[in-house]
Structure 1
Amino acid sequence: MNYRKLLQLPQKWTSRVVNNHAAWLGAIASLPFMGVLTAVAVTQGNSPEADKPPLQQHVTEALTLPPLQLAGSNTVRYWRDEAVQRGDTIARLLNRLGVRDSDATRFILSSPLSRDLLKLKTGATLSVELNDQGELFGLRFLNDDENGESVLVAIEKVGDNWQASADAPRTEAMQTVRAVEVTTSATGALAQAGVPVEVRTQLNEIFSDQFELSSMKRDDKINLVYETLLYNGAPLTTGNILAVEIERNGTQYQAFYFAHDSESGAYYDAAGKPLKKGFNLQPVAGARISSGFGMRFHPVLHALRMHQGIDYAAGTGTPILAPSDATVDTVAQQNGYGNVVILRHNNKLTTLYAHMSRFQPGLKAGNKVKAGEVIGYVGTTGRSTGPHLHMEVRINGQAVDPATTALPTRGLDNSERLAFSKQSVKLAANLKLLRDIPVNVAQLD
């Protein structure tokens, strides 16, 4: 045997490995497996140390993080709405929100606005402008002025100074749509779809001469177009229902609002016929409506009129008539209303007459009156800047527009019919869009 050749074998093998790149790669790739095998071999050895768990060492190193920069966070402002609770004042409510701005508090206490305007109504909404640090930049809320019309009370910081105002807010009208399918009740379905209570009450009265909204059953449908009034881009209140379509027991009903002038209007079907008969008489014969119901957008002034009723222009001493048969509910003097009479016409409908100069002699609560009977005389008592009759209509305590719910509804003349036709065609197209949608629409305003 040639031992010299045997000795040369490992030398040649080593040389090949060193000079062969593929071999190197294979060796490197096998290292993890070799390590595993080695570990197994050690573990399976007979050494007395083999049964001991391997030593572990924990290393903790503190890392220095760069400081978190919240650049400009105190410049971000946002509006927050807070419901006014019984007994709340502006100062108490701001304190509840964690706002403690002594400059703002001093300004509010010495504000040029009257104390009455700065009183908060229970259930109203106070909007405050804050930043993340709780700094106050402004607040606003709706309140009634001395004429009984709602204004937007605004207190805001401009630069380093505070200023206050109380004016009819300039608003934008936006059409809001709802497609609602009744599951249990119409009122519940409307509420679930986010339809405001004022709109629900108004809707109930539009078709009240034909059917009650409560008679609608499962799978009946309501398609609705109404106004939402925006102030600085945020919803402030609702306006009129512009168009509505109801499918009830397989029968379709439609209604379209038409403005007679800047202060009043009524609802008509697609053919232009009045939907409601209303009372037989107006409370002041031949008088014009000088100020309309306020929950709507004034098309000329481009401002919100938050008047809870309508005003008739009439001189002091003009007789005020009961517009229909009724029971006298109240004969009294009430703060802003002055001398006021309230008539109850049925279980849900009442009418109110304010600012009277005097009552009809002998009139008292519980009396029955007939349509056309005198209940009092026009005056300017209470919060009033001049003689007029203020009339309100309430359905279950909720104020609604007398012009669309109770007053006699007149027919349309030829020019009004043409205007109504053009307007109703556009609104009917919106209703058709809602009708074709297979699911409920809950539009986010």
Structure 2
Amino acid sequence: MDYRKLLHIPQKCASRLVNHHLSWLGIAACLPLLGTATAFAVANGAKETLPEQVRQQQVIERLALPEFHFSDSQTRYWRDEAVKRGDTVARVLNRLGVRDNEARAFLYTSPVAKDLLKLKVGATLTVQTNDAGELFGLRFLQDDDNGEQLLVALEKRDGKWQASADPVAAESVETVRSITLKRGAAAELAAARVPADIRNQLSEVFSDQFELSSLKPGDRINLVYETMVYAGSSIASGNLLAVSIERAGKLHQAFYFAHDSESGAYYDSEGKPVKKGFSRQPVASARISSGFGLRMHPILRSLRMHSGIDYAASAGTPIVAPADGELVKVARENGYGNVVMIRHNAKLTTLYAHMRGFGKGIQAGGKVKAGDVIGYVGSTGRSTGAHLHFEVRVNDQPVDPATNALPTPGLSKTQLAQFDAKKQVLSARLDLLQNIPVNVAQID
């Protein structure tokens, strides 16, 4: 037998297998099975060896954080802080993290600073500091017990600290706020940093129609009001210029219209009075000689916040109660002179100052009716001449008597045309606020 022929058999078979097209189809069909078998073999082997090869261990280690240091930045910025009950300037500065020993020494030792730096609850203290807690300036409005608020400034001049009440040039700018309620209106307005005097004005604008406290979550408030700015920082608020309140799906709007340079009132979109006010004014047929808000004090020649309005009237002119109420103060004071205060309801009081004398039977604790004579125009206290200083306070905060208490006059055709022009501008502001998404509108 020729064994060499047997050696050529595998070679011939392999050649036929390679050259036959059905052979390649068979190999292709077997590939997935071969892959599965291989994978199974690997996985099966891994399953048997995994617990022995992989071991887990938990390691806990405390890492020390790097020590934090204030930066040495000398960038200065202004900060506002509300004055709380029992606060002193030093206590407020502590709360703000001011660590300027030189400034503190001035506050404690200077007789000028002690005389000027008297704070009232609810006032705003504005301070200029840097990241290191150094103090560069301080400002706030101080009551002078005469219906005026004096702008007090503490600043460093030529390397020395000084406290002063010098005249300053302030400007009025418009401020806008949009708030969708998630809780009570009072809390939301405070959280949005709406000033206390603006909040009090707002609470009275629609008081003949509804109480602000009646607003529910989901209701919306849009505001446009004046902010008085000095050296880039707000120092006081002016008038509430426009407001829209969406309450239970119904829209309420009010727009401020100035009758003259000293007084104004609120009207709806059609020019009709929003608030009725008292039935009469304290001095019949008298003009308002000095309005509510910031002005230059005629005696001290410094910037003042006038907390009421002044009526120009001759000495001896009768002063009447504009509405029923209780006499809570009948006294003589240094600034106000002869003064009477009447409480008309739980939150509203009126004050009458510089009177020559009191009306018959006017004593603290008594009652008065609208039209009763409570005193006579005079010039007692700190006064430049005969006039009546008249204040309206809501929750003990002064508000503009012309917009919150006095009778609201109707508008003439000429005034109505002027009102429509101003309303269009303010309506555009309110519409813009209304169209801002809620999550954006509440970011200031």
- TM norm structure 1: 0.73
Give the gaps of 5 or more residues in structure 1: 1-69
Report the alpha carbon displacement of residue 183 of structure 1 after superposing the two structures with TM.
Answer: 2.9
- The correspondence of residues 371-410 of structure 1 with structure 2, limited to 5 A, is 371-410=370-409
C-alpha separation in 1, matches of 2:415 and 2:296: 20
Match of 2:292? 293
C-alpha separation between the residues in 2 aligned to 1:150 and 1:397? 15
Q: How far apart are 1:367 and its partner, in Å? A: 2.6
| Residue in structure 2 matched with residue 217 of structure 1 by the alignment | 216
> Are 1:179 and 1:434, in contact at CA under 8 Å, matched by a contact in 2?
yes
Q: Contact 2:147–2:308 (CA<8 Å) still a contact in 1?
A: no
SS of equivalent to 1:431: helix
In 1, Cα distance between equivalents of 2:370 and 2:244? 33
Code of the residue aligned with 1:390 in structure 2: it is H
The separation in 2 between residues aligned to 1:91 and 1:177, in whole angstroms, is 32
CA contact (8 A) 1:239 1:297 kept: no
The equivalent of 2:442 in structure 1 is 442
Contact map agreement 1:138 1:155 (CA 8 A) in 2: yes
Which stretch shifts more, 75-84 or 145-154? 75-84
Distance 1:200 1:194 in 2: 10
1:432–1:297 CA distance, 2 compared to 1 (3 A): farther
Distance 2:342 2:246 in 1: 34
Secondary structure of 1:306's partner? Answer: strand
Separation (CA, whole Å) in 2 of partners of 1:121 and 1:156: 20
Deviation for aligned residue 1:330: 2.0
Residue number in structure 2 paired with 1:57: none
- Counterpart amino acid of 2:169? R
CA-to-partner distance for each residue in 1:142-181, whole Å, 9 max, x for gaps?
2235754222222333334555531454223222222222
* Residue identity matched to 2:428: A
Partner residue in 1 for 2:266: 267
Give the alignment of 1:154-169 within 5 angstroms: 154-160=153-159, 164-169=163-168
Percentage identity across aligned positions? Answer: 61
Query: SS in structure 1 opposite 2:391?
Result: strand
The equivalent of 1:199 in structure 2 is 198
Aligned length: 368
What is the aligned partner in structure 2 of residue 98 from structure 1? 99
2:249 aligned with 1:253, yes or no?
no
Deviations 1:70-105 (A, max 9, x none): 99x585444455665667666787799432328973
Aligned-partner residue type, residue 320 of structure 1: I
Mean CA deviation greater in 361-370 or 264-273: 361-370
**In 1: Cα distance, 2:86 partner to 2:242 partner:** 40
Compared CA separation, residues 407 and 164, structure 1 to 2 (3 A):
same
Q: Secondary structure at the match of 1:139?
A: strand
Where does residue 20 of structure 1 map in the other structure?
A: none
Which position in structure 1 is the counterpart of 2:118?
A: 119
Per the normalisation by structure 2, the TM-score is 0.73
Q: CA deviation at 1:295?
A: 6.3
CA distance in 2, matches of 1:103, 1:180: 39
Q: Is the 8 A contact 2:137 2:155 kept in 1?
A: yes
Equivalent AA in structure 2 for residue 109 of structure 1: S
Which consecutive unaligned segments of at least 5 residues does structure 2 have? 1-69
- The corresponding residue for 1:14 is none
**Distance between the aligned counterparts of 1:384 and 1:247, measured in 2?**
45
Between the aligned partners of 1:174 and 1:371, the Cα distance in structure 2 is 38
SS of 1:283's equivalent in the other structure is coil
| 1:262-294 alpha-carbon deviations (Å, 9 max, x no partner) | 211100011111111111111011111122112
With over 3 angstroms needed to count, the CA separation of the structure-2 counterparts of 1:248 and 1:162, relative to structure 1, is closer
In structure 2, relative to structure 1, the CA distance for the partners of 1:204 and 1:161 (3 Å cut) is: closer
Aligned to 2:314: 315
1:409 Cα offset (Å):
0.8
Q: Identify the range of structure 1 (414-423 vs 380-389) with the bigger mean alpha-carbon deviation.
A: 380-389
Contact (CA 8 Å) 2:99, 2:134: kept in 1 or not? no
Name whichever of 84-93 and 359-368 sits farther off: 84-93
Map 1:63-102; keep pairs closer than 5 Å: 73=72, 76-79=75-78, 97-101=98-102
Q: State the distance in 1 between where 2:206 and 2:296 align.
A: 23
In structure 1, how many angstroms separate the alpha carbons of the residues matched to 2:366 and 2:79? Answer: 49
Give the equivalent residue in structure 2 for 1:230. Answer: 229
Within-5 A mapping of 1:324-363: 324-363=323-362
Task: Provide closer, same or farther for how the CA distance between residues 89 and 433 of structure 1 changes in structure 2, counting only shifts above 3 A.
Answer: closer
Q: Structure 1: how far apart are the matches of 2:223 and 2:166?
A: 31
The answer to whether the 8 Å contact 1:176/1:227 transfers is yes
- Tell me, in whole angstroms, the C-alpha distance in 1 between the residues paired with 2:443 and 2:175: 7
1:361-385 Cα offsets, whole Å, 9 max, x none, are 2211333322222101112222323
Provide the secondary structure at the position in 1 that maps to 2:425: helix
CA distance in 2, matches of 1:92, 1:213: 33
